[in-house]
Amino acid sequence: MAAGNRDGRLGVWLIGAHGAIATSVVHGLAGLVQGLLEPVGIATARGPLARLPLRPFPALVLGGHEVRRGSLAAAAEELVRHRVLSPALVAAAAAEVAALAARVRPGLPDAPAADDPALLPAAVALAQAPGAEQSARLAADLEAFRAAHGLERVVVVNLASTEAWRDEDPAWASRSAFEDALHRPGALPASCVYAHAALAAGFPFVNFTPNRAASIPALRELARARGVPHCGDDGKTGETLLKAALAPMFAARALKVLTWQGYNMLGNRDGEVLADPVRREAKIRHKDAVVRAILGDDDVHTAVQIDFVPSLHDWKTAWDFIHFEGFLGAKMSLQLTWAGSDSALAAPLVLDLVRLADFAAARGEAGEMAHTACYFKAPLAGGSHDFHAQFRALLDYAERHLAPR
Amino acid sequence: MAAGNRDGRLGVWLIGAHGAIATSVVHGLAGLVQGLLEPVGIATARGPLARLPLRPFPALVLGGHEVRRGSLAAAAEELVRHRVLSPALVAAAAAEVAALAARVRPGLPDAPAADDPALLPAAVALAQAPGAEQSARLAADLEAFRAAHGLERVVVVNLASTEAWRDEDPAWASRSAFEDALHRPGALPASCVYAHAALAAGFPFVNFTPNRAASIPALRELARARGVPHCGDDGKTGETLLKAALAPMFAARALKVLTWQGYNMLGNRDGEVLADPVRREAKIRHKDAVVRAILGDDDVHTAVQIDFVPSLHDWKTAWDFIHFEGFLGAKMSLQLTWAGSDSALAAPLVLDLVRLADFAAARGEAGEMAHTACYFKAPLAGGSHDFHAQFRALLDYAERHLAPR
Amino acid sequence: MAAGNRDGRLGVWLIGAHGAIATSVVHGLAGLVQGLLEPVGIATARGPLARLPLRPFPALVLGGHEVRRGSLAAAAEELVRHRVLSPALVAAAAAEVAALAARVRPGLPDAPAADDPALLPAAVALAQAPGAEQSARLAADLEAFRAAHGLERVVVVNLASTEAWRDEDPAWASRSAFEDALHRPGALPASCVYAHAALAAGFPFVNFTPNRAASIPALRELARARGVPHCGDDGKTGETLLKAALAPMFAARALKVLTWQGYNMLGNRDGEVLADPVRREAKIRHKDAVVRAILGDDDVHTAVQIDFVPSLHDWKTAWDFIHFEGFLGAKMSLQLTWAGSDSALAAPLVLDLVRLADFAAARGEAGEMAHTACYFKAPLAGGSHDFHAQFRALLDYAERHLAPR
Amino acid sequence: MAAGNRDGRLGVWLIGAHGAIATSVVHGLAGLVQGLLEPVGIATARGPLARLPLRPFPALVLGGHEVRRGSLAAAAEELVRHRVLSPALVAAAAAEVAALAARVRPGLPDAPAADDPALLPAAVALAQAPGAEQSARLAADLEAFRAAHGLERVVVVNLASTEAWRDEDPAWASRSAFEDALHRPGALPASCVYAHAALAAGFPFVNFTPNRAASIPALRELARARGVPHCGDDGKTGETLLKAALAPMFAARALKVLTWQGYNMLGNRDGEVLADPVRREAKIRHKDAVVRAILGDDDVHTAVQIDFVPSLHDWKTAWDFIHFEGFLGAKMSLQLTWAGSDSALAAPLVLDLVRLADFAAARGEAGEMAHTACYFKAPLAGGSHDFHAQFRALLDYAERHLAPR
């Protein structure tokens, strides 16, 4: 297909298909297509990015993997109860939701307890298999989805829960080491197996989670070898977005940031998972690195706290305290309180990234999509944590590709 | 002088020489020269800007105009009491402060009450004279300063109190109309007379206030005709800086800002003057325009409130409430509380602007210094209110002039 | 009837029957009676107050006056859209809402523009009549309501929009002067005419608004003469509640409050009306008096700002900044941000007050109900603005009346 | 001595004599006596409490124990640098500070590392001795202080650093078990040994720390047996004070608190010690218990976080987030940001408590001083965590003892 061919249909495969973000994606997409929603929050629908020949929303077909029992209907009901989705939108999207529900396949849980009653038995069973077999099963699902719907391409998006932190592993360092590890049960995080399945099958991969996924050297190598574009890690939806947008101001004004404390409260499934210190490790590392990197100052005192606060449900709330020194030794402060719906912030970024990954694949780009750095807490490439520089890089990319071809 | 000649001495003429900002400038400069202070808050002392061949701090000689009774010593004592200046710095800067005090000349008040006991009689008397005579007297002070200290150049910085708002006046529209008005008593704001005195004498002019000053067409024309660089209006030190830094993030993410309310509390002389609605008009207009301009959205509901809160003295505190809509119609919010010393935020910007105006004059630049837009709430030129774009323009300017000459 | 007789039915007459608070009252009451809602926010349903023999919720029958076109259904729909009422509750309450709607009668607008298209013609016509005729018409509506439903008593609750501020008037000083004024058209605020109608007819009156209503000497005298209990003014639902709860802490700790600034944002009909400076005058006075009274300090710098922010709709948000001095001259601060639904905060207080007014009437109490001071920004009686002292007074009242009689 | 005899001199013995609170006490007391400071923050100097015949400030003589190297002069300099103490006050208090410095004796560290270079060798040596010997040595210091200065009484105040958390121990359950443990090295927390020394010698004891001290049953028993009054634990100076003042408002209004999160940042020595999770355990327990106790609701989700943020030094800053439900299921929130000087908040409470303990001892009161509950996070007695009820109890106590005797 020539870049910009907007005629075919595009598959969007959501890992974590019953989660709050996926639920928001399917409802939001239906609302957009039916003209019930404005494309608020979707950067590719506005300004210069809107002039890129990206895949139109009606061409998107959704499918996905899931490891937990439950249903999209239950997830939607919960989002209605917590006032993220309106009952009217849920009613309007019923057909699209049913269609997606029918396409959801059991996925691969990371290090599941064998007797966890919340998990699908088929998912637990898959977790017992060697990695090579897992990857093949997941890839087969993707292929079947493509074939069943006559899709021109499938973009795979990882929206799974945060995995337990693992230190660097020699098995991640190269394709060959990785392929060996695929034959040792339990050697690889589920996210890496998913990424392997997608990339090996030639499908663009978007890692919206803090999980390792395609960020490890072995899979970066695979993506380049297979000529597949991918991007990640860890969608930048709230407090970290603010950090990346504000820290450059302090640097430009030569103000000396002494302390940047960030307190995050979250009440949905994501927050519940992150209540486990081993799981929140990656996320905290990503959130914490941004300020130091932008300020170019290793002495700044930073901390990131994530707390599970069930009453907030999807409405995450963060308080940042920035203590800084100005001229004459004067100590000053800035406080920020950010309160927003986690899912409503994330879902439009997923739609942006799917369209950009599709476009990059159509253009024949391979490897890390550096121009998407503005979407991630820990971008795989892009060279800066300054949000404005990152966004300018995206605009420059768009500028370069607006020319008629 | 060739651009970048750093050998001669540079005059810095402060209009409002006993004010809190001027007091902070003279103490801060002494502290920098004596190695007692780090150049925190001084962007030209850091990164690529530090590599520009700007005038070094020890070459700066201060003088100024003042219209009110009082003294630098009293102003310093007040800043010590309110914990902006340390007693140690005041002691160390005694000689420099005494030297500046000896050079302060009576200035031109705007529309003074004839019997205001706070004003210097000589200043009140000057206010009665026709504009042409006022301008000549002010220019003579500048020339005498230059001659007395063998200064290569004098940069004039307006730090005076905010004047009452005046609507556009035909007398401002052209040099010839302005020159006619110079002969009608009271026809012109004091700030315009100051700017005329400086520009007509060939001295670069920096308008750090919200006053009209050199922003009117007549004086822009004069500056170009005389080949003098100038910049303004209204130093961007706090809440408006935050707006200019954050609003681009909302635009980039296609989030729909519904409301941006800004509540400012200020307790120093500036705050006292701004308690008068007629005087705060210009400042509110400047502060309010930024968000709408960046978002490109005239429907956003904005308001700016400035309140005089004496107990805060120099420690201004602002609360901004941003209500925005994301995807799915979800309404979210961001709150900011900024607390900082007004003088300590402003003084380093004055030092930056003086050095940049000197450099521009040395290079033969004339008219509005578009590259200084990042310093101002209402830049005379520069084309954007996005702080990051403004700062990039300054870096680009620096990049162009770093080449060896 | 003996106090505590809980058998008969009680009328509740809402002035402003299509407003957001009345809409919340009718839905909330239906939800309580049907067991769909917990009595959250209803102090008389909890602790010692719950042991008072107050009228049970199923015995309450609603009616009301309204001056504006529109309907309860439209008001409910708006509250659903702004996520105050759930669609499920609106469905469940349909019969009760229809019953109330059928009982709403045209009321008396305050100083209406004759051609205001938003007003009911019958209401505009009533505004032209002399006060005595107005009062008689309003009283006839109340009596008809009582007769039609076999009510033991009717409590009249003023929930109308805020009226324009009027300075003290000699006509308010005594019953006789007031009765003269009833014959001069336009001499009296609508709220006073409503209060006169209720009290003259022997119906307890609750003034939830900042309007003059029964607070003027003439009507206080009437209430005592007629043996009717009443209470007001201005329901204490948010920022002022916080002030009344927190200021006593500063007094107890001997901390010196220097400044208490309160910034209120409101987006509903109440906020729209208060955007008019003449109308918000009374409210600001009430809100501002509390801090000074509790601290017993006239030097404290206070200010109250109310802004209309349409995007917030019913979700009012207030920011308070308290600057205080501690030992050693140390200056400290407390900031509060309160965000809540105006209607959901007010409606349960209305239910409490109706039940307490009914109980007081049953006991034969006459005049100001001092024990309800904790419900009001400007209590008619009660002697303290300290919320905790006010609430203790209510508990003491309850304690006294729990004994079997 | 008869209660109210105000002629003699009172000893005040500060455990932790070089700490920031003790440094603030000695400077503040000197400032009060010399008329340089107003008694801001000192409740006993205001209102009805000021009419109690408490010991006047000039009658107070300071002494103390310390375990760390360092000096009052160094502590004062640090408080000047961080803008808590003014240089003028430090100069004025020089004689009083020198007098206290000369009276400081090596104290008893809790579980010290033998080779900790920050500790005084004599303090480390004392830590090796059996408890009985330790207690005797500490008591001898108190007696020598009393004798040397002809003091009528000595009140001992524990201002030491927070000790590591220890679970309940059978040795604490009774006087006899405790006395056995005094012969087993290391069996008792240092705070209990200090309290034993004071109480056994008949000196009133104030525990301003979260340490066990006199709160254990054995020492409560001892205090009653010896007829000595004492109070504690854990001074209520900031965030917990706010909780105790605000939670009653939610209870009174029957609002349902869902979540109360408290984030505390602190940069002084206290903060440094509390960075150790084992040490902050007691403090977190005290802070966390208050909300649940006042609301009478075990389901409310609460959390307290304490972080060490060095740049803040003495200026502790806390953010509380309260999520609550109102009528109609509406979810609302309140946020608080408290920023104040830890030492300036604590020092006046110490002066209040010393005067109240002296008065109680003069009156012959023995055991827990229930009327001081308003000063403590975990009061030894008093029956309520509601700050307003606690303060009323103190006023009632004062009322009872104002009568001439």
Whether the predicted pLDDT of C395 surpasses 50:
yes
Helix and strand numbers, DSSP H then E, in chain C:
14, 11
| Residue A279 pLDDT grade (very low, low, confident, very high; cuts 50, 70, 90) | confident
Residues of B in contact with A330 (CB under 8 A): 84, 340-341, 344
Interface contact C331-B311, CB threshold 8 A: yes
- Interface residues on A facing C, Cβ-Cβ cutoff 8 A: 83, 87, 337
Mean pLDDT of chain C: 93
**Looking at CA atoms only, how far is residue A83 from chain C in angstroms?**
7
State ipTM: 0.95
Q: How far apart are CA A234 and CA A286, in angstroms?
A: 8
**Looking at CA atoms only, how far is residue C254 from chain B in angstroms?**
18
- DSSP letter at A312 equals G
pLDDT score of B4:
44
Conformational region of residue C116, where left means phi above 0, alpha means psi within -120 to 50, and beta covers everything else = beta
Mean pLDDT of chain D: 93
To probe the interface with D, which of A83, A259, A300 has the most D CB atoms within 10 Å?
A259
Question: Is the CB of residue D104 less than 8 Å from the CB of residue D66?
Answer: yes
Nearest to C327 among D254, D329, D344 (CB): D344
Write the DSSP string, C85-145: S-HHHHHHTHHHHHHHHHHEEE---SS--TT-TTB-HHHHHHHHS-HHHHHHHHHHHHHHH
pLDDT score of C299:
87
For chain C, the helix, strand and coil percentages under 3-state DSSP, each to the nearest 5: 50, 20, 30
Contacts of A209 (CB under 8 A, 6+ apart): A158, A159, A160, A161, A162, A163, A191, A232, A233, A234, A235
Whether the predicted pLDDT of A3 surpasses 70:
no
Percent of chain C predicted with pLDDT > 70: 98
Residues of A in contact with C87 (CB under 8 A): 87
Unique residue bearing structure tokens 């005579």: B133
Percent of chain A predicted with pLDDT > 90: 85
Q: Is the pLDDT higher at A228 or at D280?
A: A228
| Residue A4 pLDDT grade (very low, low, confident, very high; cuts 50, 70, 90) | very low
Give CA torsion, residues B8, B11, B12, B17, to 10 deg. Answer: 150
Residues of A in contact with D305 (CB under 8 A): 263, 305, 307
Closest residue in chain D to residue A302, using alpha carbons only: D309
pLDDT score of B281:
80
> Per-residue pLDDT averaged across C191-219, rounded?
97
**Looking at CA atoms only, how far is residue B335 from chain A in angstroms?**
5
- Interface residues on B facing D, Cβ-Cβ cutoff 8 A: 83, 87, 337
Query: What's phi and psi for D153, nearest 5 deg?
Result: -165, 160
Residues of B in contact with D87 (CB under 8 A): 87
Residues of B in contact with A28 (CB under 8 A): 327-328
Contacts of D98 (CB under 8 A, 6+ apart): none
Closest residue in chain C to residue A85, using alpha carbons only: C83
Q: How far apart are CA A282 and CA A285, in angstroms?
A: 5
Q: How far apart are CA D67 and CA D119, in angstroms?
A: 6
Contacts of D12 (CB under 8 A, 6+ apart): D25, D60, D61, D62, D63, D154, D155, D157, D354
Whether the predicted pLDDT of C324 surpasses 90:
yes
Q: How far apart are CA A354 and CA D364, in angstroms?
A: 79
**Looking at CA atoms only, how far is residue B87 from chain C in angstroms?**
17
Residue C154 is encoded by which pair of tokens?
A: 């009717």
Unique residue bearing structure tokens 């699908």: A120
> Per-residue pLDDT averaged across C17-45, rounded?
97
Tens of pLDDT, residue by residue over B338-366, are: 999 999 999 999 999 999 999 999 999 99
To probe the interface with A, which of C82, C84, C86 has the most A CB atoms within 10 Å?
C86
Paired sense of beta strands C331-341 and D331-341, if any: antiparallel
> Per-residue pLDDT averaged across A150-162, rounded?
97
pLDDT score of C285:
82
Question: Is the CB of residue D318 less than 8 Å from the CB of residue D262?
Answer: yes
Q: How far apart are CA D72 and CA D27, in angstroms?
A: 10
Q: Which residues pair with A231 in a beta bridge?
A: A206
Name the burial class of residue D400, with classes exposed (0-12), middle (13-18) and buried (19+) by CB atoms within 10 angstroms of its CB: exposed
Q: How far apart are CA D209 and CA D191, in angstroms?
A: 9
> Per-residue pLDDT averaged across C350-373, rounded?
98
Question: Is the CB of residue D21 less than 8 Å from the CB of residue D29?
Answer: no
Interface contact C87-A83, CB threshold 8 A: no
Give the residue among D388, B374, A265, B345 at the shortest CA–CA distance from C250. Answer: D388
Interface contact B83-D83, CB threshold 8 A: yes
Q: How far apart are CA A64 and CA A18, in angstroms?
A: 9
- Interface residues on C facing B, Cβ-Cβ cutoff 8 A: 258-259, 261, 263, 265, 301, 303, 305, 307, 309-312, 317, 319, 321, 323, 331, 333, 335, 337, 339
Per-run averaged pLDDT (10 residues), chain D, 405 residues: 62 97 98 97 94 96 96 95 93 97 96 88 94 97 98 97 90 94 90 98 97 97 98 94 97 97 90 81 80 90 93 96 97 97 98 98 97 97 92 96 66
Interface contact C87-A87, CB threshold 8 A: yes
* Edge-to-edge strand ranges of the sheet holding B331-341: A301-308, A256-266, A315-325, A331-341, B331-341, B315-325, B256-266, B301-308
> Per-residue pLDDT averaged across C121-146, rounded?
96
Nearest to D328 among C47, C84, C391 (CB): C84
Mean pLDDT of chain A: 93
**Looking at CA atoms only, how far is residue A86 from chain C in angstroms?**
9
Kindly give the parts of chain B with pLDDT less than 50.
1-5, 405
Interface contact A265-D321, CB threshold 8 A: yes
Interface contact A327-B337, CB threshold 8 A: no
Q: How far apart are CA A246 and CA C64, in angstroms?
A: 52
Tens of pLDDT, residue by residue over A229-251, are: 999 999 999 999 999 999 999 99
**Looking at CA atoms only, how far is residue C305 from chain A in angstroms?**
21
Interface contact B305-C305, CB threshold 8 A: yes
Residue A296 is encoded by which pair of tokens?
A: 């170019």
pLDDT score of A403:
54
pLDDT score of A216:
97
Question: Is the CB of residue D162 less than 8 Å from the CB of residue D274?
Answer: yes
To probe the interface with A, which of B253, B294, B320 has the most A CB atoms within 10 Å?
B253
3-state secondary structure of B328: helix
To probe the interface with D, which of A295, A311, A336 has the most D CB atoms within 10 Å?
A311
**Looking at CA atoms only, how far is residue B80 from chain D in angstroms?**
10
**Looking at CA atoms only, how far is residue C249 from chain D in angstroms?**
6
Residue A216 is encoded by which pair of tokens?
A: 């490890």
Amino acid at C340: G
Conformational region of residue D234, where left means phi above 0, alpha means psi within -120 to 50, and beta covers everything else = left
Nearest to B347 among A45, A327, A386 (CB): A327
Residue A150 is encoded by which pair of tokens?
A: 């006559």
Q: How far apart are CA B215 and CA B58, in angstroms?
A: 31
Alpha-carbon distances of D41 from A170, B189, C365, rounded to whole Å: 62, 49, 43
Write the DSSP string, D346-366: HHHHHHHHHHHHHHHHHTT--
Whether the predicted pLDDT of C194 surpasses 70:
yes
> Per-residue pLDDT averaged across C207-223, rounded?
97
> Per-residue pLDDT averaged across A99-121, rounded?
93
Instruction: Using CB atoms, list chains with 3+ pairs below 8 Å to chain D.
Output: A, B, C
Name the burial class of residue C320, with classes exposed (0-12), middle (13-18) and buried (19+) by CB atoms within 10 angstroms of its CB: buried
Interface contact C327-D339, CB threshold 8 A: no
Percent of chain A predicted with pLDDT > 70: 98
Unique residue bearing structure tokens 């630049």: B365
Instruction: Using CB atoms, list chains with 3+ pairs below 8 Å to chain A.
Output: B, C, D
Question: Is the CB of residue B337 less than 8 Å from the CB of residue B282?
Answer: no
Q: Is the pLDDT higher at A256 or at B47?
A: A256
pLDDT score of B3:
42
Query: What's phi and psi for A263, nearest 5 deg?
Result: -115, 120
**Looking at CA atoms only, how far is residue A283 from chain D in angstroms?**
19
Whether the predicted pLDDT of A404 surpasses 80:
no
Residues of D in contact with A305 (CB under 8 A): 263, 305, 307
Q: How far apart are CA A157 and CA A232, in angstroms?
A: 10
Q: Which helix (H) or strand (E) holds C231?
A: strand C229-232
pLDDT score of B288:
79
pLDDT score of D404:
56
